[in-house]
Amino acid sequence: MSISSQNTQDLTANTTEASLTERRRRRRERISVSLRYCLLIIFGLIMIYPLVWLIGASFKSNNEIFSSPWFWPKEPTTQGYVDGWKTSTPYTFGHFFLNSMKIAIPKVIGTAISSTLVAYGFARFEFPGKKVLFAILIATLLLPDVVTRIPQYLLFRELGWLDTYLPLFVPQWFAWEAFFVFMLVQFLRAIPREMEEASRVDGANSLQTLIFIVVPILAPALVSVCLFQFMWTMNDFLGPLIYISTVENYPVSLALKLSIDATEAFNWNQILAMTVLALTPSLVVFFMAQKSFIEGISTGGVKG
Amino acid sequence: MAHLSLKSVEKVYGNSFKAVHGIDLEVAEGEFMVLVGPSGCAKSTTLRMIAGLETISGGEIWIGDRLVNDLVPGKRGIAMVFQNYALYPHMKVHNNLSFGLKLKREPKEKIRNATAEVSGILEIGELLDRLPKQLSGGQAQRVALGRALIKQPEVFLFDEPLSNLDAKLRASMRVRITDLHKRLRDEGRPATVVYVTHDQVEAMTMGDRICVMKDGRIMQVADPATLYERPANAFVAGFIGMPEMNLVPVDLSWSESGKPLLELSGKGVAIDEGLARRIKKKSGKVQLGVRPQHIEVTTPNADNCFVATITNLEFMGHEINLHARSGDADFVAVISSERFDKSLQRGSKVGLKPVGSKVHLFDVDTGENISLASVDD
Ligand SMILES: Nc1ncnc2c1ncn2[C@@H]1O[C@H](COP(=O)(O)OP(=O)(O)OP(=O)(O)O)[C@@H](O)[C@H]1O
Ligand SMILES: [Mg+2]
């Protein structure tokens, strides 16, 4: 027993030199890692603090909001939510949410369908003028939005679509967003064609191949398209501002602004509470979709 | 089932590259035809034209008594197995198998029976509820095979289906596919197969007949034995066989006794054993073709042999590849390990004596085999 322990000691003595430098190296590494993470955490907190503050402040009373920059409410109250929900209009905030959905849902669906069709066409078919048409499509990416605002407005006025939601989602049914088309085309180019060829050999026509094979494989990309479109729509302020004139038809983004205009003394707690609510759909949709971002089912069907 | 025929089929790609130069090919009903050739010789292009995945620029393709030039792939009565399996990644194995039948709106009962039968044949019964990404390469390829089999097509098309598998698996899949082909034949529903590969072992072991291609042209169509023993030209001779056939330019002349004399760097070698009867009386430059297995290694002062210096010896186990150089010409000879003279080593001089009955002569310009003549007699 004693002999063996002595042996061990000798061994330890021999290795101390090596283990010392080793330990020093490890310590240095640990410090550098902790430093890096500290920095990241600090910056992360700085980025997210306004959001945290917003949520905290929505539970404060109107007076407290300006008296302390700290996000935690001293006397938490849901009064902001209760009052804010009622709004200063004859409609509750739920009504405006519904309005937003009436824009967002057809818009998202239209974007997904039309962008997929157009991208599939560009990525998989040969037709005369394909190159030129694709170049034009990409060129519209570079076109500033403002350039098209006025002609569009005039067009929709002629159609009698003012104060309806049509101008806000009908264009999206025609693959209006070149960015999404471009994104899907890039995604499709990376997918081997053999699966589609196999389905054609199996007897599917182009449309069946698109629906049964391409769309499922494209799902992760399509989810991001829908997600982006949904969030952009919820956040869109200018579009509704231009085309929607009656309060009854206001979406959330306009309704929020409305509550700032309507009251002489701003009820900030109500505004903040409704802002938090306005954020939730996007957040919920985002976290629901996150899974399919990560999953990425596009792998596994083909080798290589 | 049906026979398949290609009549002066051409393919010009969009960039005006002519990949296929008018090929004619007849595949009989129930025949296993292998398309083989070096990379880029348009094997895949040809196969894809038969499948309908590539447009046909010229000529006609007939499946049975139907001209299929303008039919979509689904209507041609074909099934295809791809090199990278091309399984539908989001569908379970059983859905992969039955996708084609479902599109045809076959009754559920029939689909279930067909799936059961095919998964029994290919032993993929346990895999039916898996996704393709949960399969090994061999399993995935079996599923891909099943997806073709379940449709009971008139013609099976394979595009290098085994090249993604490791050597062992490839060998067992090879047997499986040929067995399957035999089995279908025995069951009275012979399957016409066109099988693309660049692996000559696959070609020789699987094919009833082999079609050797080069640069979009057919070099020879024949059964494996004919291809090996009587190659129509130098290309086929060099392509089939391992190690490659020795192809050496020599001068052909005739001895007084009427024997052909092959002269290489000043030394003439008289070839016996009936070569004289096989070639026309011509002389001048020709290309000597002799397989490494058909060279006897003798002492350098033996009669009628090329004298060469050993440049390399490759020990392969049961045999030895002997590389030797005679003048400007390189030879490879294969000797069985037992018969190998251990004193030989790099730099030793040896005599190389071609076995006359196995020697081929090729035209230098056209590459045509000019030593086939009187074997027919
Ligand atoms: N889409 C295309 N456009 C232009 N040329 C092509 C196209 N596809 C193939 N080719 C050319 O046609 C020729 C034949 O190609 P193919 O794929 O049929 O060869 P392969 O015999 O199958 O070769 P591998 O053994 O490498 O698969 C090649 O020279 C190739 O470069
Ligand atoms: Mg190929």
Question: Is A253 part of a structural domain of the chain?
Answer: yes
Residue nearest to atom 18 of ligand 1 (CA): B42
Question: Is A249 part of a structural domain of the chain?
Answer: yes
Q: Please work out whether the CB of residue B343 comes within 6 Å of at least one atom of ligand 1.
A: no
Distance, in Å, from the CA atom of B41 to the CA atom of B170, rounded to the nearest integer, reads 23
Please report which confidence band the pLDDT of residue A300 belongs to, taking 50, 70 and 90 as the band edges: very low
**What's the CATH code of the domain at B306?**
2.40.50.140
What b/e sequence results for A219-249 when a residue is b if at least 16 CB atoms lie within 10 Å of its CB, and e otherwise? Answer: bbbbbbbbbbbbbbbbebeebbebbbeebeb
Helices B137-149, B93-103: axis angle to 10 degrees equals 20
Question: Do A10 and A151 lie in a common domain?
Answer: no
Structure tokens at B57: 């620029």
Residue nearest to atom 4 of ligand 1 (CA): B13
Residue A232 scores a pLDDT above 50: yes
Q: Least CB-CB distance to B82: which of A194, A204, A212?
A: A194
Question: Do A28 and A148 lie in a common domain?
Answer: no
Question: Is A74 part of a structural domain of the chain?
Answer: no
Query: Ligand 2 centroid to B44 CA: how many Å?
Result: 4
Question: Do B180 and B313 lie in a common domain?
Answer: no
Residue B225 has a pLDDT of 94
The mean per-residue pLDDT over the stretch A184-194 comes to 91
Q: Provide CB contacts within 8 A for A44, sequence distance 6+.
A: none
Which residues share a beta bridge with B350?
B308
Distance, in Å, from the CA atom of B85 to the CA atom of A198, rounded to the nearest integer, reads 9
Are B287 and B363 contacting, i.e. CB atoms less than 8 angstroms apart? yes
Distance, in Å, from the CA atom of B335 to the CA atom of B320, rounded to the nearest integer, reads 5
Angle at B60 between CA B54 and CA B61, to 5 degrees: 65
- The distance of B73 to chain A (nearest Cα, Å) reads 5
Distance, in Å, from the CA atom of B48 to the CA atom of B43, rounded to the nearest integer, reads 9
Distance, in Å, from the CA atom of A83 to the CA atom of A81, rounded to the nearest integer, reads 6
The mean per-residue pLDDT over the stretch A110-123 comes to 95
Distance, in Å, from the CA atom of B134 to the CA atom of B128, rounded to the nearest integer, reads 11
Question: Do A244 and A104 lie in a common domain?
Answer: yes
Question: Do B69 and B191 lie in a common domain?
Answer: yes
Question: Do A26 and A153 lie in a common domain?
Answer: no
Residue A9 has a pLDDT of 56
Question: Do A53 and A105 lie in a common domain?
Answer: no
Question: Is B114 part of a structural domain of the chain?
Answer: yes
Q: Least CB-CB distance to B132: which of A192, A204, A301?
A: A301
Please report which confidence band the pLDDT of residue A260 belongs to, taking 50, 70 and 90 as the band edges: confident
Question: Do B197 and B274 lie in a common domain?
Answer: no
Question: Do B103 and B154 lie in a common domain?
Answer: yes
**Coil vs helix vs strand at B227:** helix
Question: Do B76 and B209 lie in a common domain?
Answer: yes
Distance, in Å, from the CA atom of B244 to the CA atom of B289, rounded to the nearest integer, reads 10
Question: Is B60 part of a structural domain of the chain?
Answer: yes
Question: Is B165 part of a structural domain of the chain?
Answer: yes
Determine, for residues A200 and B73 on separate chains, whether the beta-carbon distance falls below 8 Å. Answer: yes
Last residue of a domain, one of B175, B208, B237: B237
Last residue of a domain, one of B216, B237, B258: B237
Residue nearest to atom 17 of ligand 1 (CA): B44
Q: What is the DSSP letter of B244?
A: P
Domain count, chain A: 2
Question: Do B277 and B232 lie in a common domain?
Answer: no
Question: Is A136 part of a structural domain of the chain?
Answer: yes
Query: Ligand 2 centroid to B41 CA: how many Å?
Result: 8
Distance, in Å, from the CA atom of B27 to the CA atom of B22, rounded to the nearest integer, reads 16
Residue B38 has a pLDDT of 93
DSSP H helical segments within chain A, as ranges?
Answer: 2-57, 62-67, 79-86, 93-124, 130-142, 145-159, 166-169, 178-189, 194-201, 206-209, 215-235, 238-243, 252-262, 268-295
- The distance of A130 to chain B (nearest Cα, Å) reads 14
Kind plus residue range of the DSSP H or E element containing B290: strand B284-290
Q: What is the mean pLDDT of chain A?
A: 85
Distance, in Å, from the CA atom of B252 to the CA atom of B270, rounded to the nearest integer, reads 10
HSE-up (13 A, CA, CB side) for residue B108: 0
Q: Which amino acid is at A286?
A: F
Question: Is B296 part of a structural domain of the chain?
Answer: yes
Question: Do B267 and B329 lie in a common domain?
Answer: yes
Nearest atom in ligand 1 to the alpha carbon of residue B83 is 27
Conformation bin of residue A68: beta by default, left when phi > 0, alpha when psi is -120 to 50: beta
Question: Is A261 part of a structural domain of the chain?
Answer: yes
Distance, in Å, from the CA atom of B330 to the CA atom of A197, rounded to the nearest integer, reads 46
- The distance of A36 to chain B (nearest Cα, Å) reads 38
Distance, in Å, from the CA atom of A292 to the CA atom of A144, rounded to the nearest integer, reads 32
Question: Do A86 and A42 lie in a common domain?
Answer: no
Domain count, chain B: 2
Q: What is the DSSP letter of B245?
A: P
pLDDT in tens, A268-283: 888 888 888 888 888 8
Question: Do B208 and B267 lie in a common domain?
Answer: no
Distance, in Å, from the CA atom of B83 to the CA atom of B196, rounded to the nearest integer, reads 10
Residue A13 scores a pLDDT above 70: no
Question: Do A48 and A150 lie in a common domain?
Answer: no
Question: Do A159 and A22 lie in a common domain?
Answer: no
Residue A7 scores a pLDDT above 70: no
Question: Do A105 and A19 lie in a common domain?
Answer: no
Distance, in Å, from the CA atom of A47 to the CA atom of A262, rounded to the nearest integer, reads 31
Q: Provide CB contacts within 8 A for B272, sequence distance 6+.
A: B259, B304, B356
Kindly state whether B299 is in contact with chain A, defined as any CB-CB distance less than 8 angstroms: no
Question: Is B377 part of a structural domain of the chain?
Answer: no
Q: Provide CB contacts within 8 A for B14, sequence distance 6+.
A: A126
Question: Do B83 and B123 lie in a common domain?
Answer: yes
Q: Provide CB contacts within 8 A for A235, sequence distance 6+.
A: A253, A282
- The distance of A204 to chain B (nearest Cα, Å) reads 7
Distance, in Å, from the CA atom of B343 to the CA atom of B299, rounded to the nearest integer, reads 12
Helices A215-235, A178-189: axis angle to 10 degrees equals 160
Helices A252-262, A215-235: axis angle to 10 degrees equals 10
Residue A295 has a pLDDT of 56
CA quadruple A223, A225, A228, A234: dihedral sign:
negative
Q: Please work out whether the CB of residue B281 comes within 6 Å of at least one atom of ligand 1.
A: no
Q: Least CB-CB distance to A217: which of B84, B90, B104?
A: B90
Question: Is A63 part of a structural domain of the chain?
Answer: no
pLDDT in tens, A163-181: 999 999 999 999 888 999 9
Q: What is the DSSP letter of B154?
A: S
Residues from chain B that touch A219, judged by Cβ atoms under 8 A, are 90
Determine the residue of B9, B36, B44, B47 to mutate for testing ligand 1's pocket, defined as the one with the most ligand atoms within 8 A of the Cβ atom.
B44
Question: Is A38 part of a structural domain of the chain?
Answer: yes
Question: Do A292 and A180 lie in a common domain?
Answer: yes
Can the peptide bond before residue B243 be classed as cis, meaning omega within 30 degrees of 0? yes
Calculate Rg over the CA atoms of chain B: 25
If one counts every other C-beta atom within 10 angstroms of the C-beta of residue A88, the result is: 16
Lowest mean pLDDT among A32-36, A224-228, B87-91, B113-117: A224-228
Query: Ligand 2 centroid to A196 CA: how many Å?
Result: 17
Question: Is A67 part of a structural domain of the chain?
Answer: no
Write down the ipTM of this complex.
0.86
Question: Do B268 and B187 lie in a common domain?
Answer: no
**What's the CATH code of the domain at A272?**
1.10.3720.10
**Domain span at A40:** 2-57
Structure tokens at A96: 């405006």
**What's the CATH code of the domain at B170?**
3.40.50.300
Residue A297 has a pLDDT of 40
Report strand pairing: B192-197 vs B155-159. Answer: parallel
Counting Cβ atoms within 10 Å, is residue A216 exposed (0-12), middle (13-18) or buried (19+)? middle
Q: What is the DSSP letter of B135?
A: S
Determine, for residues A304 and B53 on separate chains, whether the beta-carbon distance falls below 8 Å. Answer: no
Question: Do A47 and A98 lie in a common domain?
Answer: no
- Count how many pairs of residues, chain A against chain B, have C-beta atoms within 8 Å: 99
Conformation bin of residue B135: beta by default, left when phi > 0, alpha when psi is -120 to 50: beta
Please report which confidence band the pLDDT of residue A2 belongs to, taking 50, 70 and 90 as the band edges: very low
Residue B374 has a pLDDT of 58
- The distance of A138 to chain B (nearest Cα, Å) reads 24
Determine the residue among A130, A195, A202 to mutate to test chain B binding: the one whose Cβ has the most chain B Cβ atoms within 10 Å: A202
Residue A264 scores a pLDDT above 80: no
**Domain span at B167:** 4-237
CA B360 to chain CA centroid, Å, is: 20
Question: Do B214 and B84 lie in a common domain?
Answer: yes
Kindly state whether B110 is in contact with chain A, defined as any CB-CB distance less than 8 angstroms: no
Kindly state whether A304 is in contact with chain B, defined as any CB-CB distance less than 8 angstroms: yes
The mean per-residue pLDDT over the stretch A6-23 comes to 67
Question: Do B190 and B323 lie in a common domain?
Answer: no
Q: Provide CB contacts within 8 A for B122, sequence distance 6+.
A: B142, B143, B145, B146, B149, B176
Residue B281 has a pLDDT of 67
Last residue of a domain, one of B173, B204, B237: B237
Question: Do A97 and A191 lie in a common domain?
Answer: yes
Residue-by-residue pLDDT tens, chain B, 377 positions: 589 999 999 999 988 999 999 999 999 999 999 999 999 999 999 999 999 999 999 999 999 999 999 999 999 999 999 999 999 999 999 999 999 999 999 999 999 999 999 999 899 999 999 999 999 989 999 999 999 999 999 999 999 999 888 888 899 999 999 999 999 999 888 999 999 999 999 999 999 999 999 999 999 999 999 999 999 999 999 999 889 999 999 999 888 888 888 888 777 888 877 788 888 767 889 999 999 999 999 988 888 889 999 999 999 888 999 999 988 889 999 999 888 888 888 888 999 999 888 899 999 999 999 888 754 44
Query: Ligand 1 centroid to B334 CA: how many Å?
Result: 35
Determine, for residues A304 and B134 on separate chains, whether the beta-carbon distance falls below 8 Å. Answer: no
Distance, in Å, from the CA atom of A169 to the CA atom of B342, rounded to the nearest integer, reads 86
Please report which confidence band the pLDDT of residue A182 belongs to, taking 50, 70 and 90 as the band edges: very high
